[in-house]
Structure 1
Amino acid sequence: MKRNISLLDDCKSLFQFINYFKRECPDIVHGNTPKGAFLSMLAAKLTGISIRIYMCHGLRYQGSQGGMKVLLKLMEKLTCLCATRILCVSAGVKKTLIKDSICKQHKLNVVFNGSANGIDTSYYNREKLPDLNIWKTKLGINDNDFVYCYAGRIVKDKGINELVNAFDRLQQILQEKIHLIIVGRLENNLNPISKETEEKIKNNTHIHMVGLKSDVRSFMAISNVLVLPSYREGFGQVLVEACSLGVPCITTDITGCNEIIQDGINGKIIPPRDENALYKMMKWFYDYRDDKVKIMASNARPTIVKRYEQYKVWNALLSEYQSLFS
């Protein structure tokens, strides 16, 4: 499959799915991501597979406009129509599917407390990480510096323009005392950040663009706060990862994120697309780094262990699968 919409390529992928399902005759087809779920659910319906599960990670149409939004919404409706069961990664996703008349409530379920896979808290454990001073030294970060971190795709809808601008404003006041680590791949082909933001990242020695990493733990762990100022999410897995490492978060009041972060407990919630609110909150974290932020850091890991421990999510998913055969 190709990620972007392409009528010819998508038709080819659909026929490949149909041929594969005819040959293998699976009992269950479980589809993920907008494109993967759309094609697999449609093919499974056409080939008569009785159990068709769509794992809805988020709603892509929420970040689109005009004709593209109409098309993506129609694809979402068709996916849900072809599926026999829709598992939502958050209560917010479920609520939106109902509110936007995408799917009837009886097909929808949120497994455990949400997420697609939970989190292995033994892996995302600060105590099991190697010496973090190695990365601090490489990036030129001193022990008394305050570090903000972002991890994810570097695109406009993740709030990168607002994040870099807010950091730039804050740095004008605090000078050399703060750093911003950006972990992820710059994507210029779809939903790119502004050229001005790219220039600010390139020219600021306290903004560290480290690229795409298979292991983000050390970058999160050397940070005082993770910032995810996204416009839309289905869940917000990086928030779970950061909190599991004992790092509080700043995030936006959007689907999924406002379920993981409990305002004032393990982080803070701000409005989306609001650079000024983000700037004020980033400054608040610096100002209260020795008391209120430390309390939120101590709360961060327990909130995740309780709600998203992986084996608990897996057991709940197993029960969901078993219930489909009863």
Structure 2
Amino acid sequence: MNRRIIFCSNTSWYLFKFRRSTISRLLEEGGAVYCLAPRDDYSKMLVDLGAEFVDIKMDGKSVNPLKEFSVICELYQAIKRIRPDYVFNFTPKMNLYSGLACRSMGVLYSNNISGLGTAFIHDSFVYRVARKLLGFSNKGAHRVFFQNEDDKSLFERLNLIRRQSVDILPGSGVNTDEFYFSPLPDGPIVFLMIARLIADKGVREYVAASKVVREKYPDVRCLLVGPMGVSNKTAIAEEEIAEWVRKEWVEYLGYQEDVRPLISQAHVVVLPSYREGMPRVVLEAASMGRAAIVTDAPGCRQSVEAGVTGFHCQPQNASDLTRRMLEVIELERNCLSMMGAAARRRVEKAFSEVYVINRALECVESVC
């Protein structure tokens, strides 16, 4: 393979954490890989993989038209200089900005819809315009990858895609060797939520439910893991998180580079998100033999087979999440173990990262 391939994302962190295996495989096949993203602590790790890093100065929270237009211009110049054979776009802003730049130059590209993001959860004039432009970007794409049928159907209803260019992937895939099976620990139940600390992930619902659960069962632990101060309009303030910890509703453990030890010590993973593409953390936990409680919302509902590998609760409903968490506490431990084993089998069968990597290779190999 003698191809120049670009990966675009709103963070280097995303590319390294979720697309590392695909990047490595393309490099092994002889491709030249360029990673376009804002510089962060993971940029050097992408370079260490063998990719070339290009710093794109983007603010994830910005909706300033002049700033955003300058990002599009910066992407346009970078793509023009590299002259890629194929571009993979990830995260909402890059699907839009890089997609527009690629379409204007006639460069083959794919957009990866890994969740609809703020522009679809909230509504305003700016977000309505963004959705229209995203449709224009998608309709010029060689492929538009979705992670669940709900998001695909919504884009079809809104006329934001060409149906002949659409494909569905099992999220970003899971390395089942890296996320090895682990038996449930002894002792009181431990709940674990791993997410960016933003309202749209359902963090406040988890904390409210944990408060009630711990009042009834003080020995139960409710762990919260994830970065504060993220670039998102619904980011939760550090002072609010500190208050939760002070009142002992949750144990906040900050951002953890390797979540496997935490999953190993937990019994159930909780993700009450308002909407996802396909939640990677739920699949990673399932690979390690953990059931999950997720919302009956697009993306989330597909990550768990209700009653078999976990439970569904109502979105934005702390009372219903509380009910589910209490049900888990009252379950026989062997029932929870069987659900975890079923979750592991489901990941092995349907969510391996091998399929995702092969689909990327097929896109690149389709270049004449």
CA distance in 1 between partners of 2:240 and 2:202 (Å) = 11
Tell me if 1:183 matches 2:225: yes
- Assess, with a 3 A threshold, how the Cα gap between structure 1 residues 260 and 253 changes in structure 2: closer, same or farther: same
Distance 2:354 2:139 in 1: 31
- After TM superposition, the structure 1 stretch with the greater mean CA deviation from structure 2, 209-218 or 64-73, is 64-73
The alpha carbon displacement at 1:195 in A equals 8.9
Equivalent residue runs for 1:225-304 within 5 Å:
225-304=268-347
Residue of structure 2 aligned with 1:94, choices 135, 143, 152: 152
Q: Is the 8 A contact 1:161 1:197 kept in 2?
A: no
**Equivalent residue letter for 1:98:** E
- TM normalised by structure 1 equals 0.87
- The separation in 2 between residues aligned to 1:168 and 1:209, in whole angstroms, is 13
**Separation (CA, whole Å) in 2 of partners of 1:316 and 1:42:** 23
Alpha-carbon distance in structure 1 between the residues aligned to 2:356 and 2:238? 41
Aligned partner letter, 1:162: E
Q: Indicate conservation of the 8 Å contact 2:223/2:253, yes or no.
A: yes
Counterpart CA distance in 2 for 1:181 and 1:108 is 38
Q: When the two structures are superposed, what TM-score results if normalisation uses the length of structure 2? A: 0.77
Q: Is 1:30–1:54's contact at 8 Å kept on the other side of the alignment? A: yes
Q: Report how far residue 259 of structure 1 moved.
A: 1.4
Deviation at 1:66, TM superposition (A): 2.8
What is the rounded CA distance, in whole Å, between the counterparts of 1:185 and 1:58 in structure 2?
19
Query: Is 1:54 aligned to 2:111, yes or no?
Result: yes
The answer on 1:25 being equivalent to 2:80 is no
Moved more, 312-321 or 24-33: 312-321
Residues in 2 aligned to 1:105 and 1:234: alpha-carbon distance in whole angstroms: 18
For structure 2, the 5+ residue unaligned runs are: 1-57
Aligned residue pairs total 308
CA positional deviation for 1:196: 9.3
Q: Structure 2 CA distance, aligned partners of 1:181 and 1:280? A: 18
**Percent same amino acid at aligned positions?**
23
Instruction: Give the distance between the partners of 1:192 and 1:17, measured in 2 at CA.
Output: 26
| Alpha-carbon contact 2:89-2:98 (below 8 Å) kept | yes
SS at match of 2:187: coil
Which region of structure 1 is more displaced relative to structure 2, 10-19 or 228-237?
10-19
Calculate the aligned-residue CA RMSD, in Å.
2.4
CA distance in 2 between counterparts of 1:205 and 1:241 reads 27
| 1:202-222 Cα deviation digits (max 9, x unpaired) | 213462111111111111111
How far 1:76 moved relative to its partner? 2.2
1:85 paired with 2:143, answer yes
Change (3 A) 1:21 1:160: closer
